[in-house]
Structure 1
Amino acid sequence: MSEVGASTPATAPPVGPEGDPPEIEGSVLAAPRSQLDEDDRLTPEFVSSVLDAVEDGDSERARDLVAPLHPADVADLLELTPSDRRAALAAALGDMVSAEVLSELNDYVRDDLIDALEPEQVAELAATLDTDDAVAIIEDMEDADQQAVLDAMGPEDRAAIESALAYPEESAGRLMQRDLVAVPQHMTVGQVIDYLRDSDNLTTDFWEIFVVDESHHPIGTCQLSWILTCPRGVSIGDVMKREQTLIPVDMDQEEVALRFQKYALISAAVVDASGRLVGMITVDDILHIVQQEAGEDILRLSGAGDGDINQPILLTVRTRLSWLVVNLGTAIFAASVVGLFQETIAKYVVLAVLMPIVSGMGGNAGTQTMAVAVRALATNQLTSSNTRRNIVRELRIALANGLVLGVLIGVATGLIYGNPDLGIVIALAMLINNLTAGLGGILVPVALEKAGVDPAVSSAVFVTTLTDVMGFFSFLGLATVWGL
């Protein structure tokens, strides 16, 4: 952490003889266009050429091909490589598989590569990264391997990593970086500029400076643009913005992402329980969290687990099978409802043909409502203050959809089978099941949220079961009462 009397700022970039920034070898924003397709993905031809060079034992050619790539593109290359050839590629690339590449890798691919490295190598790579990226590399390792890596690190780096690992997973403490710039409010703009220029150990990426009091509590922030455009004699306390969004160190990373989105933050201070400044989170870290959390919610709704194509097959089977077994149980329950009306079905077999339509349409309608509700809960759009209003809204939508679908299926059924009574029965059943789907689609996620259960994980099972049971029961029950 950079603050006055301790260390830090960024020096100006070196310039060439004509005053222009020097050209840095290998410094590119992305892979050359010949290696990327129209969607900025590595082309199959390029991937094959690199792997062929490795298979032929021509490591030099492989390194020449990969040299222009950005670390993110090198990570993509490793992920696109079959698992049984990945170790050979990493060995051929050598130090090109840098700490930046590891931090960009998929978790499962990164774990495979780290397992092949010595603790000293992992420690050396982690020491070059920001704390949050280093923690991402180390946190999923086995306890013995993790300790070996920590033992191989320098005291300062080890202390920072151990402190971050002490916070809960997926919390702001794990996500934050400890390198930042903090100054007292009595400094002038000129003193801050001189401090930034003269310090030798500044963090390389920062957009604002945090202003702290004597107890190291953040009392304001000051953007670099303000500092550069203000007279040198102005006090930093007069320039700073006192209103700021502080992130508690134990806040869940999803809630952190919502705050960044809501308040359009570029960076934010992280504080401990006593309000002391302990780190900062930047928007580039939040982009990963937004993508990760959004993907997790979609996959949980389907019961597909992580849904990662690099996940081991046995782990994938175990994750998916557990939910499929639960679904099997609910399907048996729904089938038992059908069994209550065997005599009615035996008298009028066409009921068995039509009843899947009612349950299936109800299931689709319930899934639509559930997906909207789960997303609204995740983004804090659906709260205690507007739950009742949204329940009424979804019921009105379900009523409108049910009436339209009921009329359509009722008229079609009556004409096809020449039985107006059957058309009325299926129309009423469609309306009832759509109302059930609308109500269940929002009430189930809300109830699970109130109970402290992730609605993205469990909602689908309950809503599907509800619409199947009500679809069968309403259609076959009405048919029995109607005397079909």
Structure 2
Amino acid sequence: MLEPKVKSEGLSVRADELLGLSPELINSVRDSLLEKNQTRTRMIVASLRASEFADLLQLLSPNFRRRLIECIGSDFDPQVLAELEGDIQEEISELLGPLSLANMIIRLDIDDALELIITLRKDRQWEILKQLPSELRNLVEEGLAFPKDSAGRLMGREFVAVPSFWTVEDTIKFLRAADNLPNEFYEVFIVNPHHRPIGKVSLSNILRNEKPTKISSIMLSEIVTVPAIMDQEEVAFVFSQKDLVSVPVVDQSLRLIGVITVDDVLDVIQEEAEEDIMRLGGVKSDDLYSAALQTGRSRFSWLFLNLITAIVVSIVIGIFEATLEQIVMLAVLMPIVASMGGNAGTQTMTVAVRALATKELSDTNAMRVMGKEFLVGIYNGILFASLVGGVAWFWTNSLKIGGVMAGAMMITLIMAALSGMIIPLFLQRAGIDPAIASGVVLTTITDIIAFGVFLGFATLLLL
């Protein structure tokens, strides 16, 4: 029997079409808020998930956000706070007030509660902590003691751990009777008498075995643990390398104190990727929702540093002032060399920074990768030197100027390719995040090389 053919040509389904938030819904919310129709507003947003409601708040203006929060009132889902961006999260927290915010934090998982409290001002943190029950307050304060962006701050405190001498029957009875289990979990950790993890068992494996079976006989003993002080980016790398669903977190005594699940790591991967992109562009953080003055201040220092490097490049050009005065055409042509060098270097730098972040580039293969980029520089150098040199010759009717362009282009593209690889490696060895400083250093070096080589060749060959 022939299967029916499904015509897939021209089909395109976007993610937002599968979710509850649409432009029509957003406009409906705005209209109902303008009409002060609370019943209609509540009906419109009732079906939205926490993440979708958070997106809705971020798309609305501050005035509409305030109206919507007032309309929802006590029905506001605390999970929405955990989904909001930093600036909007702080704004909504101010609108809710200390008491309402504390009541919402009580209903959150400990990792989400901790993440929310961290975004608040110090005085605000203390005000909220005083409102929390003592047990939760102790857990939050313990979490705040861990380093920023560490596994200790990322982990959840609710997990399932059983002793190795239990049977499958004992474990199932415990899972049914216990009232403090996580809402969702996929693995049960096996611990020794010192509460150190020695293995894990998936729920499916527990259900497939007979009741008298010892848990220790079906557990996976090759278990990966992460220390609470490990950076969250390193934790994400462990998950990707080992294809983990969850990983136990241990303290200095190797005792089990928490667990990190794959959904937490997905957020980390996105955050770290965003952070690297922002840093490459000279932006400290995502300031899309920040005030204009605050955004301007945060970007000033990076722009000022770029100004300093631009002055350095201008000084290099000033050394060849006499050459430029005699052959004005050089001033027209030299930006071409600098632009090509900057773009070629940025291509290599982007690959290098990403490879360093994913551990694909290290001391063991750095020379091999650098050799490859050197060959790439030669390849592109020959092609573009021939192309640009010929165009310059035709344009100026001067073979010497064409030769200067060709030679400068060749050397610049080779050096740009090498610089794009060497600079991130050097910065990492120096303990500086390559994503932060590589761009400005590379731009300065490629500009100096491009202008210096171009004008140097011109001085030697044309004067």
What band does the TM-score fall into relative to the shorter chain?
A: over 0.9
Instruction: Show the counterpart of 2:267.
Output: 288
Secondary structure in structure 2 of the residue aligned to 1:186: coil
Q: Deviations over 1:436-482 (max 9, x none)?
A: 11111111111111111111011111100001011001001001111
Change over 3 Å in CA distance of 1:101–1:342 after alignment to 2: same
Please give the residue correspondences for 1:204-215 in structure 2 after superposition, counting only pairs within 5 Å: 204-215=183-194
Aligned residue among 37, 45, 55 for 1:66: 45
Alpha-carbon contact 1:172-1:270 (below 8 Å) kept: yes
How far apart are the structure 1 equivalents of 2:137 and 2:36? 38
Shift of 1:260: 0.8
Instruction: Show the counterpart of 2:32.
Output: 53
How far apart are the structure 1 equivalents of 2:423 and 2:278? 18
- The reply to whether residue 245 of structure 1 matches residue 224 of structure 2 is yes
Secondary structure in structure 2 of the residue aligned to 1:381: coil
How far apart are the structure 2 equivalents of 1:474 and 1:467? 10
Alpha-carbon contact 2:244-2:262 (below 8 Å) kept: yes
Shift of 1:190: 1.0
TM-score, scaled to structure 1:
0.91
Higher deviation after alignment, 361-370 or 298-307: 298-307
How far apart are the structure 1 equivalents of 2:80 and 2:413? 50
Instruction: Show the counterpart of 2:93.
Output: 114
Alpha-carbon contact 2:158-2:180 (below 8 Å) kept: no
How far apart are the structure 1 equivalents of 2:20 and 2:325? 58
How far apart are the structure 2 equivalents of 1:224 and 1:62? 42
Alpha-carbon contact 2:20-2:47 (below 8 Å) kept: no
Instruction: Show the counterpart of 1:171.
Output: 150
Shift of 1:85: 2.4
Alpha-carbon contact 1:74-1:97 (below 8 Å) kept: no
Instruction: Show the counterpart of 2:67.
Output: 88
Instruction: Show the counterpart of 1:409.
Output: 388
Q: Deviations over 1:219-241 (max 9, x none)?
A: 00100010000111110000100
How far apart are the structure 2 equivalents of 1:76 and 1:140? 18
Q: Deviations over 1:395-442 (max 9, x none)?
A: 111111111111110111112222111111111101111111111111
How far apart are the structure 2 equivalents of 1:433 and 1:411? 17
How far apart are the structure 1 equivalents of 2:74 and 2:45? 12
Secondary structure in structure 1 of the residue aligned to 2:247: strand
Aligned residue among 166, 186, 206 for 1:187: 166
Shift of 1:148: 1.9
Instruction: Show the counterpart of 2:450.
Output: 471
Please give the residue correspondences for 1:260-299 in structure 2 after superposition, counting only pairs within 5 Å: 260-299=239-278
**Which amino acid is the alignment partner of residue 348 of structure 1?**
I
Aligned residue among 200, 221, 227 for 1:221: 200
Shift of 1:44: 2.6
- The reply to whether residue 444 of structure 1 matches residue 423 of structure 2 is yes
Q: Deviations over 1:28-53 (max 9, x none)?
A: xxxxxxxx953747333321211221
Aligned residue among 276, 299, 305 for 2:284: 305
Instruction: Show the counterpart of 1:25.
Output: none
How far apart are the structure 2 equivalents of 1:208 and 1:118? 38
Q: 4+ residue stretches of structure 1 with deviation over 4 A?
A: none
Instruction: Show the counterpart of 1:393.
Output: 372
- The reply to whether residue 375 of structure 1 matches residue 358 of structure 2 is no
Higher deviation after alignment, 80-89 or 203-212: 80-89
How far apart are the structure 2 equivalents of 1:39 and 1:356? 48
Higher deviation after alignment, 137-146 or 181-190: 137-146
Shift of 1:324: 1.1
Equivalent pairs: percent with the same residue?
A: 42
Alpha-carbon contact 2:21-2:48 (below 8 Å) kept: no
Alpha-carbon contact 1:171-1:249 (below 8 Å) kept: yes
Which 5+ residue runs of structure 2 have no aligned equivalent? 1-14
Instruction: Choose between structure 1 and 2 for higher RCO, CA contacts under 8 A separated by at least 6 residues.
Output: 1
Alpha-carbon contact 2:20-2:48 (below 8 Å) kept: no
Secondary structure in structure 2 of the residue aligned to 1:232: coil
Instruction: Show the counterpart of 2:12.
Output: none
Alpha-carbon contact 1:172-1:256 (below 8 Å) kept: yes
**Which amino acid is the alignment partner of residue 143 of structure 2?**
A
How far apart are the structure 2 equivalents of 1:216 and 1:128? 28
Instruction: Show the counterpart of 1:257.
Output: 236
How far apart are the structure 2 equivalents of 1:287 and 1:479? 54
How far apart are the structure 2 equivalents of 1:277 and 1:458? 38
Higher deviation after alignment, 453-462 or 388-397: 388-397
Shift of 1:483: 2.4
How far apart are the structure 2 equivalents of 1:475 and 1:284? 53
Shift of 1:196: 0.6
**Which amino acid is the alignment partner of residue 294 of structure 1?**
A
Secondary structure in structure 1 of the residue aligned to 2:249: strand
Q: Deviations over 1:245-272 (max 9, x none)?
A: 1111001111111111111111000011
Secondary structure in structure 2 of the residue aligned to 1:269: strand
Change over 3 Å in CA distance of 1:416–1:118 after alignment to 2: closer
How far apart are the structure 2 equivalents of 1:182 and 1:81? 44
Instruction: Show the counterpart of 2:339.
Output: 360
**Which amino acid is the alignment partner of residue 272 of structure 2?**
E
Please give the residue correspondences for 1:117-196 in structure 2 after superposition, counting only pairs within 5 Å: 117-196=96-175
Alpha-carbon contact 2:408-2:453 (below 8 Å) kept: yes
Alpha-carbon contact 1:51-1:89 (below 8 Å) kept: no
TM-score, scaled to structure 2:
0.95
**Which amino acid is the alignment partner of residue 389 of structure 1?**
R
- The reply to whether residue 347 of structure 1 matches residue 326 of structure 2 is yes
Shift of 1:338: 1.1
Alpha-carbon contact 1:305-1:316 (below 8 Å) kept: no
